[in-house]
């Protein structure tokens, strides 16, 4: 295997990936007993994490390798994520990628990246087969998405994990301490008008986000948009990419699903509303919706977009995010300004 280059933010996007892939292949060989040098590697994304599909030589099944190199979750938090995934997989209620431990029994491998100021972490999981980003209007998909979301939340209610060490996604962490307002360069990317708009939104929706009962809060996926759902072979929907999992109000996940579908369905009259009805019917087949959800959905749709603003402003230096991030900021700020003028927020549903 060729020597690993020096990794730094001065390297191009492609050069960084070359360095990271070499490290990942070596780690597969040294810690997982796989032939990393010969395995077929297919890049899935490189934004906050580098993610590859790994298919060892002579095997039909695949793995997914996730290398967290920039501001990733600390190792204890990643172990908590893996333990939750392991518990979800064992429950057989919702399909998720099952973690693979190292030959020493570890969930996460710490690895040094030359020229980088802190260790990166690698996690390996079984590949979840199926169709990524299932068409929202395909027969039965919306209903199955609702069922999968509800099973996720029902697991949080029924299976205790007292050592679950993940972020608490609430108005403080997302709004008041989010990168869009508090991080380096965040306000500059939003601009003066965008920053002022976000501050007004925070003041307006914070009281609603503080409402709800303890039974409305628990473990959440945190980033449950359509691209993190898989139409399984045969039937059903699986969930992937738990990198942002944490604790919070269950409406965080529900609003994220609905927001992601509204963005692609809004141009077809009635399509979004039809999806939402089927999705919510699937959810309530398994468990009740959170208390007062019709009134609280809109504030959580706004919270979801604030979460996206945090991600985009924090990852602005990444070439992939830079290709779409500024347009997303402009669109979200415009929607927030319209909401302040009295318009319904995109994705809101009638009572």
DSSP state of 226: G
Which of these three, 128, 151, 169, is where a domain ends?
128
For the segment 193-204, the average pLDDT, to the nearest whole number, is 97
Q: What mean pLDDT is reported for the chain?
A: 93
For the segment 87-109, the average pLDDT, to the nearest whole number, is 97
Q: In this model, does residue 318 exceed pLDDT 90?
A: no
Q: In this model, does residue 319 exceed pLDDT 90?
A: no
Cα 241 to Cα 78, 95, 199, 221, 277: the distances in Å are 12, 12, 30, 8, 25
Are residue 181 and residue 261 in the same domain, yes or no? Answer: yes
* Domain enclosing residue 143, as ranges: 132-340
Q: In this model, does residue 39 exceed pLDDT 70?
A: yes
Percent of the chain clearing pLDDT 70 (strictly above): 97
The CA-based dihedral angle spanning residues 266, 303, 123, 69, taken in that order and rounded to the nearest 10 degrees = 100
Which of these three, 84, 101, 128, is where a domain ends?
128
Q: What is the predicted pLDDT for the residue at 7? A: 57
Are residue 76 and residue 154 in the same domain, yes or no? Answer: no
Among residues 40, 1, 222, the alpha carbon closest in space to that of 127 is found at 40
For the segment 53-77, the average pLDDT, to the nearest whole number, is 89
- Where does the pLDDT of residue 167 fall: very low under 50, low under 70, confident under 90, or very high at 90 and above? very high
> What helix, strand, coil percent values describe the chain, rounded to 5?
50, 15, 40
Q: Is residue 175 part of a domain?
A: yes
Residue 332's domain is classified under what CATH number?
Answer: 3.90.1200.10
Q: What is the predicted pLDDT for the residue at 10? A: 75
Are residue 105 and residue 230 in the same domain, yes or no? Answer: no
Q: What is the predicted pLDDT for the residue at 16? A: 87
Q: In this model, does residue 1 exceed pLDDT 50?
A: no
Are residue 120 and residue 190 in the same domain, yes or no? Answer: no
Which of these three, 80, 103, 128, is where a domain ends?
128
Residue 85's domain is classified under what CATH number?
Answer: 3.30.200.20
Q: In this model, does residue 2 exceed pLDDT 70?
A: no
For the segment 280-287, the average pLDDT, to the nearest whole number, is 98
Of 46-50, 137-141, 162-166, 261-265, which range is least confident?
Answer: 46-50
Are residue 234 and residue 115 in the same domain, yes or no? Answer: no
Are residue 284 and residue 196 in the same domain, yes or no? Answer: yes
d(CA 306, CA 301): 9
CB 166 within 8 A of CB 223: no
d(CA 51, CA 28): 14
Q: Is residue 207 part of a domain?
A: yes
Are residue 34 and residue 94 in the same domain, yes or no? Answer: yes
**To 10 degrees, what angle do helices 271-286 and 141-158 make?**
40
Are residue 85 and residue 184 in the same domain, yes or no? Answer: no
The pTM assigned to this predicted structure is 0.94
Q: In this model, does residue 66 exceed pLDDT 50?
A: yes
Q: What is the predicted pLDDT for the residue at 71? A: 64
Q: What is the predicted pLDDT for the residue at 6? A: 54
Of 7-11, 25-29, 120-124, 264-268, which range is least confident?
Answer: 7-11
Residue 192 CA to chain centroid, in angstroms?
Answer: 28
Are residue 122 and residue 156 in the same domain, yes or no? Answer: no
Q: Is residue 2 part of a domain?
A: no
Among residues 263, 333, 253, the alpha carbon closest in space to that of 293 is found at 253
Query: φ, ψ for residue 76 (rounded to 5)?
Result: -60, -35
Q: Is residue 307 part of a domain?
A: yes
Of 71-80, 234-243, 278-287, which range is least confident?
Answer: 71-80
Q: Is residue 146 part of a domain?
A: yes
Q: How many domains does the chain have?
A: 2
Are residue 270 and residue 213 in the same domain, yes or no? Answer: yes
Are residue 108 and residue 186 in the same domain, yes or no? Answer: no
Q: What's the half-sphere exposure (Cβ side, CA atoms, 13 Å) at 342?
A: 0
Are residue 146 and residue 120 in the same domain, yes or no? Answer: no
Q: Is residue 350 part of a domain?
A: no
Q: Is residue 176 part of a domain?
A: yes
DSSP state of 170: S
123-162: pLDDT as tens digits: 999 999 999 999 999 999 999 999 999 999 999 999 999 9
Q: Is residue 264 part of a domain?
A: yes
- For 181, the token pair is 């307002």
d(CA 113, CA 272): 45
């Amino acid at each position: 295997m060729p020597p690993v280059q020096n990794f730094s933010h001065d390297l191009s996007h492609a050069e960084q990936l070359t360095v990271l892939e070499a490290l990942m292949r070596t780690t597969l060989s040294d810690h997982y007993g796989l032939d990393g040098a010969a395995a077929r590697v297919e890049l899935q994304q490189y934004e906050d994490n580098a993610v590859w599909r790994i298919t060892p030589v002579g095997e039909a099944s695949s793995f997914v390798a996730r290398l967290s190199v920039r501001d990733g979750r600390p190792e204890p938090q990643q172990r908590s994520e893996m333990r939750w995934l392991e518990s979800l997989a064992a429950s057989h209620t919702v399909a998720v990628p099952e973690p693979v431990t190292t030959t020493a029994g570890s969930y996460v491998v710490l690895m040094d990246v030359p020229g980088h100021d802190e260790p990166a972490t690698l996690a390996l999981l079984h590949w979840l087969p199926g169709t990524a980003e299932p068409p929202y209007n395909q027969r039965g998909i919306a209903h199955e998405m609702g069922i999968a979301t509800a099973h996720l939340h029902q697991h949080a209610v029924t299976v205790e994990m007292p050592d679950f060490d993940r972020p608490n996604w609430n108005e403080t962490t997302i709004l008041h301490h989010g990168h869009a307002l508090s991080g380096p360069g965040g306000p500059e990317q939003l601009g003066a008008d965008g920053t002022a708009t976000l501050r007004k939104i925070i003041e307006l929706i914070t009281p609603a986000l503080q409402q709800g009962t303890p039974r409305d809060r628990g473990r959440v996926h945190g980033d449950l948009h359509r691209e993190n759902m898989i139409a399984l072979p045969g039937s059903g929907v699986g969930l992937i990419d738990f990198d942002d999992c944490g604790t919070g109000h269950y409406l965080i996940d529900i609003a994220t699903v609905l927001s992601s579908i509204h963005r692609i369905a809004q141009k077809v009259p009635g399509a979004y509303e039809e999806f939402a009805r089927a999705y919510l019917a699937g959810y309530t087949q398994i468990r009740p919706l959170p208390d007062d959800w019709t009134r609280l959905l809109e504030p959580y749709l706004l919270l979801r977009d604030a979460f996206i603003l945090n991600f985009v402003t924090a990852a602005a230096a990444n070439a992939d995010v830079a290709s779409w991030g500024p347009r997303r900021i402009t669109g979200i700020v415009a929607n927030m300004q319209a909401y302040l003028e009295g318009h319904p927020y995109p994705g809101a549903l009638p009572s």
